[in-house]
Structures are given as structure tokens and as C-alpha cells.
């Protein structure tokens, strides 16, 4: 008789991004808000295969901090609200809402290779001062890390860190490219 058991892995994420070197706009007042799954996301997996572990990945406020770093580099007047409902009309030129749409990862056991792969997708709603939706964006990030010489959970942590930094880079590029259009929609 052969018995196989599954174990549980629990990790805490505390990634950051460098401050983007962009031209800051001091004329716009921006208010950002974050859904609960951005403020304090806890991913809990089910055991997918008998050879794989169950996972608990606690993002804490890492995602919110990354988005705040990026927004503060673009806007000198960026405030944070706890919800869209608590933002009054005409209190900001732009309102940006962040929601985590998807977090997916593959372990070496599931993918039958020697790397962890992570994919993250966010939806960002952008509103004018009357709280009318003017744009919505999808921002994604991807990270992968070979298990190689990493110990413990370092490989999955690095894959998540790479994916979050990719999200930060993609949001920075999107803001730079779309800023002229956003200014005309206000």
C-alpha cells in the first residue's frame, strides 16, 4: 500500500516597485480607491493534484502600496478613499478604482516543469469629477521563476514579485501613453 500526502504552504507577500521616473502633474486632483481584494488579498487554493500542495498566499496591502507608489509619481495630489461611495461629486478631477480580477499560478508539479508561473489581472475604472465612467483598463502582469537553487518558497515568491513589478511597469506605461486622452475626457 502506498500513501501519498499533500502539504500546505503559507507565504506572505511584501513586494514593492521602484518609483517611476515620470513627469508629475500637479494640476490634477486624483482620488483612488481599492477593492477589498486589492486592500488585503488572501489567496487560498484547493489541492489540485495528489502531488501538489495547497497554498495560502497573503498579499496583505502590497498591491495597494504598489499602485499608490505609481499614482503618487504621476499625480502630486493623489488621495485615497476607502470606497467609491464615499467620494463626493466634484471632489476630484479623476477617480481611479482598482479591482483584482484574476490571480493564477502554476507550480512545477502541475505544469510538469521546473518553474513557477504567475499571472495577475486588474481592472481599473476611471471616472470624471461627476463620477461618470470615462475609461476602464485591464492591466496584467506575468512572472516566472525556475526553481533552480532557490530554497523553500523563494521561487514562488520571486515569481509573484516579478508579476507585481510587471503590473507596475504596465500601469506606468499605460498612464504615460493615455494621459493626453484622459485630460481631454475630463
pLDDT tens string, the chain, 186 residues long: the values are 343 445 678 889 988 898 999 988 888 999 999 999 999 999 988 755 555 678 889 999 999 999 999 999 999 999 999 999 999 988 999 999 999 999 998 888 777 788 999 999 999 999 999 999 999 999 999 999 988 877 778 899 999 999 999 999 999 999 999 999 988 887
Q: pLDDT value at position 16?
A: 87
Q: How does strand 115-127 pair with strand 133-146?
A: antiparallel
Q: pLDDT value at position 99?
A: 98
Q: pLDDT value at position 106?
A: 85
- How far apart CA 70 and CA 39 sit, in angstroms, is 16
Q: Could you state, in order of their start, the residue ranges of all structural domains in the chain?
A: 29-39+61-185
Joined together, the cell numbers standing for residue 20 give: 517611476
- Between the alpha carbon of residue 134 and those of residues 1, 35, 84, 122, the distances in Å are 62, 19, 15, 17
- Between the alpha carbon of residue 126 and those of residues 64, 99, 137, 182, the distances in Å are 16, 12, 8, 9
Q: pLDDT value at position 97?
A: 98
Q: pLDDT value at position 33?
A: 97
Nearest to 144 by CA among 122, 166, 125: 166
The CATH fold assigned to 29-39+61-185 is Double Stranded RNA Binding Domain (3.30.160)
Residues 6+ apart with CB under 8 A from 104: 118, 119, 120
Q: pLDDT value at position 103?
A: 95
CA 136 to the chain's CA centroid: 15
Q: pLDDT value at position 177?
A: 96
Amino acid at each position: 500500500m502506498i500513501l501519498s500526502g499533500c502539504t500546505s504552504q503559507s507565504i506572505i507577500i511584501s513586494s514593492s516597485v521602484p518609483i517611476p521616473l515620470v513627469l508629475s502633474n500637479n494640476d490634477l486632483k486624483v482620488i483612488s480607491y481599492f477593492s477589498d481584494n486589492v486592500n488585503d488579498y488572501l489567496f487560498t487554493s484547493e489541492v489540485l493534484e495528489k502531488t501538489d500542495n495547497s497554498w495560502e498566499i497573503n498579499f496583505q496591502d502590497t498591491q495597494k502600496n504598489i499602485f499608490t507608489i505609481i499614482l503618487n509619481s504621476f499625480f502630486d495630489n493623489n488621495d485615497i478613499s476607502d470606497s467609491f461611495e464615499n467620494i463626493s461629486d466634484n471632489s476630484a478631477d479623476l477617480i481611479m478604482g482598482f479591482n483584482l480580477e484574476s490571480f493564477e499560478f502554476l507550480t512545477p508539479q502541475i505544469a510538469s516543469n521546473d518553474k513557477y508561473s504567475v499571472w495577475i489581472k486588474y481592472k481599473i475604472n476611471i471616472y470624471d469629477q461627476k463620477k461618470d465612467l470615462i475609461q476602464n483598463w485591464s492591466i496584467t502582469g506575468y512572472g516566472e521563476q525556475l526553481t533552480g537553487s532557490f530554497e523553500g518558497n523563494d521561487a514562488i515568491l520571486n515569481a509573484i514579485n516579478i508579476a507585481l513589478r510587471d503590473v507596475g511597469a504596465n500601469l506606468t506605461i499605460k498612464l504615460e501613453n493615455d494621459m493626453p486622452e484622459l485630460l481631454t475626457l475630463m
